[in-house]
Structure 1
Amino acid sequence: MKLFTPVLFILLAGTIFFLYINPTYLSLQNVLAEQAQFDAALSRSRELQDVRDQLLARYNTFSPTDLTRLQKLVPDHVDNVRLILDLDSMATKYGMRVRNVAIENEKARAQRGQIGPGEEVYESVILSFTVSGSYDTFRQYLNDLEKSLRLVDVVGVSFKANEVGIYDFTLNIKTYWLKP
């Protein structure tokens, strides 16, 4: 009997340990690990909020005029109608009209020759159109196009003569916008 009581207590202690204390301790360790992950995520969230606040403060230092100009320079969406209207208003200053507008999605063209994943933060489109006028007015038009706020690259120019001194100029321009 002297030996029975201590052995019973040892077995009871072992049973309590393996059936209650150890599983509870392991679940507590899991909860503490999750809490550490949440604390790290909360800390990272605060850092990101600080960065966001700094960027927002920096953004707010720009004047509304500068923001409008920046939006026109590199828009965050494709606005082909606005671009065509801008091109036509520039052409109208020189007595020309934009005609035969065609749009080719640059993404489809680029994927044909692409070998790896594209990592650009922008997209582009090629816009083809025709204007008619003299060579001098066309040069002035190109000069205005060069000085416009909208970022465009002239990727192709062709012309054909109609009347004496009047030409049909076909322009291919590439314009860009930021990916959302």
Structure 2
Amino acid sequence: MKFFTPLAVILVCVGMYFLYISPVSMEVKALVQKKTELDDVLQKVKDLTQKREEVSGAYNSISQADIDKLNKVIPERFDSVAFANDISTVATQNSLTFKDYKISDSVPESQESSVEQKGVTPFRVSIVSFKVTGQYADFLRFLNKIETSLRLMDVIGLKVEQDPKQDKNSTATMQYTLEISTYSLK
């Protein structure tokens, strides 16, 4: 009996270990690991919240004048009337006559493949063509003014011709046909 009691206690302890303590110990380890993962996620959420607040503060600190300038570079929507008015004003300021304003929407060839892959382009390209008539020096000032304007534009075509209405004795005025691509978000 002396031998049987310690053996029974040892067998009960070993049985308790394998039947109760070991599974509970594994459960506790899994829960500790899950708690560590959740703590990491919680820390990342806190970091992202702090970063969001920093970015939001920086965004809110942008002045309205700067926002207006950004909207001028790539406007939300292309306003063809306002664009024609702006170009006409610049042409008039540089002693040029503005006429034959035409507009068409286009997607550049380089983006056609990305359109097929993604389905949506991030911007819209509008092709604008118009004619201005005047002297070469005035036309250069006009181009310089367009180049230094805030609006994002690319001159994609230029045709220079003698003004058909010009008489032989007047100073040399030329007719310039410009084709410009301009961008908007929608």
Same fold by TM-score greater than 0.5: yes
- Matched residues, number: 165
Residue segments in structure 2 that go unaligned for 5+ positions in a row: 115-120, 166-172
Structure 1 distance, partners of 2:125, 2:159, is 15
Corresponding residue for 1:12?
A: 12
RMSD: 3.3
| 3-state DSSP of counterpart to 1:150 | coil
Cα distance, 1:64–1:91 mapped onto 2, change above 3 Å: closer
Return the TM-score normalized by structure 1: 0.69
Asked if 1:104 is matched to 2:113, the reply is no
Structure 2 distance, partners of 1:30, 1:98, is 75
Alignment of 1:1-180 (within 5 A): 1-74=1-74, 79=77, 81-82=78-79, 84-93=80-89, 94=92, 96-97=98-99, 99-106=101-108, 109-110=109-110, 123=122, 125-136=124-135, 139=140, 141-159=142-160, 163-164=164-165, 165=173, 167=175, 169-175=177-183
Cα distance, 1:98–1:86 mapped onto 2, change above 3 Å: farther
Structure 2 distance, partners of 1:13, 1:53, is 56
Contact 2:155–2:178, Cα closer than 8 Å, also in 1:
no
Residue segments in structure 1 that go unaligned for 5+ positions in a row: 115-121
Return the TM-score normalized by structure 2: 0.67
CA shift, 1:171, in A, is 0.9
Letter in structure 2 aligned against 1:146:
E
- Cα deviation code 1:53-111 (max 9, x no counterpart): 22322333332222222233245x5x2x33x33321123323535633222223xx225
| 3-state DSSP of counterpart to 2:131 | strand
| 3-state DSSP of counterpart to 2:155 | strand
Cα distance, 1:153–1:140 mapped onto 2, change above 3 Å: same
| 3-state DSSP of counterpart to 1:37 | helix
Structure 2 distance, partners of 1:128, 1:40, is 51
CA shift, 1:166, in A, is 6.4
Contact 2:128–2:182, Cα closer than 8 Å, also in 1:
no
CA shift, 1:12, in A, is 1.9
Cα distance, 1:65–1:52 mapped onto 2, change above 3 Å: same
Rg comparison, structure with higher value: 2
